[in-house]
Amino acid sequence: MNRSKIDEAKVGFITFVGLILLGALILFTKGLNFGDKSKELIIEFDNSAGITPGSPVVMQGVDCGIVNSVWNEDGKVKINVSIKENCEIYEDATAVISMLEITGGKKIEIDPGKSKIKFDYSKTLPGICVSDISSMLTEVTKLGSALKPIIYGLDSTIINLNSILNNKELVANLEKIVTNTESMTEDLSSILTNNKTKINSIIDKSNLLINNLDKAVVENKPEVEQIIHELNTATNSLNSLLVKVDTTVNAANKLIDNSNVIISDIKGNNGGTVSKLIYDKQFTDQIEKMVVKLDSLLDQIQKYGVNVNTRLGTRP
């Protein structure tokens, strides 16, 4: 009986020690060492990319911590990690989720940064998700789904093309067009070959004409410039003359307007002297008689002089 209890105690003790060793081994493989001080850090990503609690955290390839928890918040993924006390990071530090091994698993790699200012652990460290094999396979799968309609459309296009090619009349017409095009090309080539000399001659004469024209322009440049200068001078003089003509015309128009006003005044002033001189015949006749008498009196004065008979102090 005592022997049995001793055996049971041994089994229980061995089982207890085994469990302790197993737990220590698990914690060790996850990167948590007893006696090491750690500090907590929150990293923010667009998605977790397969990170789970217990995933390792490395810095410059060296194990420095472990993932404690993962949760969603405000459309982002927040990851709480514990890193060793001696792992220093700075304010420009960043974190990246990458593959742990080719066979699977994820880890967080922290770039400590190059700033001299240490990171404030009350803030959130920005994280970046890079593409790996699994994400690439996911994208390829999405691409395959997107290519399906294109492939179906291409298949329909090939079917339609086959139906067109099976149309003998259409194929015959296409062959005829190709034959005619080849014939036209040969004819054009023959024309160019037979007239190559003439074409070259035309090109040479054109070049000569252009050269002569350039030479004539250069040689006669001073005369051309003088002609242009004289034309500009004549244009300016003509403009000045046109201005003077416009002034004269305006003055003439003004004179005509004044004359019309005077004529209108004369016609309108029926009782005036000028109006009577022009329009009143009786008044005109009287004036003519008076002028005749004055002319006769002047003639007598010139012939006989003036006899002045003056009486002073008495009445006649």
pLDDT digits (tens, 9 = 90+) for 283-315: 677 777 777 777 777 777 666 665 555 454 455
Picking from 146, 85, 92, 147, the residue whose alpha carbon sits closest to that of residue 115 is 92
DSSP one-letter code for 193? H
Lowest mean pLDDT among 31-35, 68-72, 215-219, 277-281: 31-35
Which range, 53-67, 165-179, 207-221, 232-246, is most confident? 53-67
Picking from 61, 143, 76, 151, the residue whose alpha carbon sits closest to that of residue 108 is 61
Residue with tokens 């296009």: 157
Lowest mean pLDDT among 84-98, 230-244, 252-266, 301-315: 301-315
Q: Which residues contact 110 (CB under 8 A, 6 or more apart)?
A: 57, 58, 59, 64, 83, 87, 89, 93, 94, 95, 125
Q: Is pLDDT at 137 greater than 50 in this prediction? A: yes
Please tell me the pTM assigned to this model.
0.37
Q: Which residues contact 55 (CB under 8 A, 6 or more apart)?
A: 66, 67, 100, 105, 106, 107, 108
- DSSP H/E element including 13: helix 2-29
Residue with tokens 């060296």: 62
CA distance 227 to 7: 133
Lowest mean pLDDT among 9-13, 20-24, 38-42: 9-13
Picking from 156, 106, 108, 170, the residue whose alpha carbon sits closest to that of residue 134 is 106
